[in-house]
Chains A and B, each alone.
Chain A
Amino acid sequence: MRFNHYKPLMALAMLIAALALAVGISACGGGGSTTTAESTEAESPATEETNTEEPAEEGEEGEEAGGEAEAITANPENAKVSLTIGSKNFPEQEILGEIYTQALQAAGYKAKSDLSLGSETVALKTLKAGQISGYPEYASTALTSFFKFEPEEVPADATEAWEKANAEFEKEGLVAFEPTPFASANAVGLLKTTAEKYNLKTVSDLKGVSEKLTLYGSPECRQRIDCLAGLEKLYGLKFKEFKPVDISLRYTVLEKGQADLSILFTTDPQLAAESEKFVILEDDKKVFPAGNVIFVTSKKVAESAGPDYEKTILNVQQGLTLEVMQELDARVELEKQTPKEAAAAYLEAAGYVE
């Protein structure tokens, strides 16, 4: 810069103004930004930070989840073990990552979370490199993405899918724990008005109509057999256009009228909260395999961390039914709580921590 003739005071004022502006803009943008990754050190038990704004709602949740919950007790032995729990970088994964992290902290482990892994490929690589101890993965994603299963080969039964995935993981020195009660799948979603206009109930109903409709999905969707490629191949559909979009915008494109169809998740809270507005089409030919979440970790970590590791993870995920997961997703996606807050509320409401 060639502004030597500036008075130093002026330059300082400009610098401060520029910084203030930049900080302001980043702060505004943060709310709408695509990732809410955060790392939490295990400096204090998570229970202290629990925010109990909505006692009524949490009570309900407690009832749903409370049946099998067993309070987690801290074992001083575990304090020697450091764990890093990963997750991919979208809300449901971040909540799961936080739930496991906080549960392990409650069990006495020195656990922290790393919730910013971009994709399953990155997550698996990070796990194999030992940078994370474990992370939650959908059994269906593991089978199709890591182990080259065709979508129709993914078992509908959760236990069977887990056993198949675990057998494959074991070949690579990894181990997958038993699945969660809830399952998540992709789905073709649309506005209820569009569904009524073309009389659509199943994906097969799109035949003959899809040429007029624009489909939005994640940038990867175009080529994936469990997404656009599968819709084209298995259902024989041709769409007017496919457009890539960040998954955080999957409802925005429907609301703004830019998308006729958008790839949604069956666990999306919007589907429960706004059932008069958004609907999903039944996947009658099974392009989108449903996946329960399995916690994937390395054998080495599982052995060195002791028996409380698996026990805590299986215990804390027992309350995760579809309704509870939708409720937790709603807290983060709709009510803008952090994944950490939502996870803490779950642990407390379900009776895992005091």
Chain B
Amino acid sequence: MNLLAALPHPVFAGFTGAFEFIFSKQESSVTGGKKVGGFEQVLELAWTQIYVSLLALALALVIAVPIGLYFGHRGAGELLAVGIGNAGRAVPELALIALIAAIIGVGIPVLTLALAVLGIPPILTNTFVGVRQADRSAVTAARGVGMTEFEILRKVELPMAVPGIMTGVRGSTVNIVATATIAPLVGVATLGEFILGENVYGTNGVLAGAICTAILALLFEFALAGLQRQLTSKGLRLQAQ
């Protein structure tokens, strides 16, 4: 922290307050003397954010991967996959969540659904593209040795599509983790509570919420990069080298 304070750039100097907020409780003018922030609260909120992000990611995977694999294998529906991919990126998440909340209320199910909608497009598009780009001669050879269509998908196309799928999953995850900061608007307290509660937590709290969210997104990214390595078949890895 002293190191940060010593940095000449005022932007970095502005971060010290945020780091203090993360590690120790701070005064607030509207709480009647109760201190806010601190590591315990950060951990609690971060944990909820991880939990809802994983739920949303799981739902997005369950929906997007099978559809992507199916259309990718059949080589049809490119318009659909790419169309949904592009349109999905343009959906304003706040408007979507308000719409769902008005219909079915608030809570974790609503949030999961809204975040999954955000996570589906990248996974769907990349799964589709990943399968389409599987080595055609390998697929033809598989068919030649008498594999069923399902076996071709599972044993040939899917392993070759793993890097593509994982690219989509990583993109989705960053989106979902970052957007989970709006959860306090629908009944779930995540790190967004700091960001949305400037009157209580102050500018340092807002910044702390943003920093912690960024760190979470990076952690997810590293974990998924590791997972991608594990999932990619040895042959493909060697080929890449």
Contacts and interface: CB of A to CB of B under 8 A. Distances in A.
B94 A33 contact: yes
Contact of A224 (B83, B91, B187, B200): B200
B193 to A, nearest CB: 5
A225 B32 contact: yes
Contacts of B133: 2
Contacts of A244: 184-185, 187-189, 193
B87 A32 contact: no
A144 interface: yes
A311 interface: no
B24 interface: no
A29 B92 contact: yes
B199 interface: yes
B95 interface: yes
A256 interface: yes
Contacts of A30: 95
A138 B129 CA distance: 56
B86 interface: yes
Contacts of B36: 223
Interface stretch (B65-73, B99-107, B134-142, B150-158): B99-107
Given A14-B79, A33-B95, A258 B106 contact: yes
Contacts of B129: 2
A248 B98 contact: yes
A223 B96 CA distance: 28
Contact of A256 (B31, B105, B184): B105
B197 A219 contact: yes
Interface stretch (A44-52, A61-69, A158-166, A226-234): A226-234
B224 to A, nearest CB: 22
Interface string A1-44: 11100000010001101110110011011101110000000000
Contacts of A54: none
B41 to A, nearest CB: 10
B90 interface: yes
A307 B152 CA distance: 82
A245 B187 contact: yes
A151 B129 CA distance: 60
Contacts of B106: 216, 243, 245, 249, 252-253, 256, 258
A18 B83 contact: yes
B30 A219 contact: no
A324 B40 CA distance: 46
Contact of B30 (A21, A26, A226, A253): A226
Nearest to A31: B99
Interface string A92-118: 000000000000000000000000001
A233 B32 CA distance: 9
Given A14-B79, A32-B98, A249-B106, A230 B186 contact: no
A111 B83 CA distance: 44
Contact of A249 (B78, B186, B200): B186
B34 A223 contact: yes
A163 B79 CA distance: 66
Interface of B: 28-32, 34, 36, 78-79, 82-83, 86-87, 90-92, 94-96, 98-99, 101-102, 104-107, 129, 133, 184-189, 192-193, 196-202
24 contacts: A1-B82, A2-B129, A18-B86, A25-B96, A26-B92, A32-B102, A33-B92, A118-B198, A121-B202, A219-B184, A222-B193, A222-B200, A223-B197, A229-B32, A229-B34, A233-B32, A244-B184, A244-B185, A249-B101, A249-B186, A252-B101, A252-B106, A253-B187, A258-B105
Interface of A: 1-3, 10, 14-15, 17-19, 21-22, 25-26, 28-30, 32-34, 118-122, 144-146, 148, 150-151, 216, 219-220, 222-226, 229-230, 233, 243-246, 248-249, 252-253, 256-258
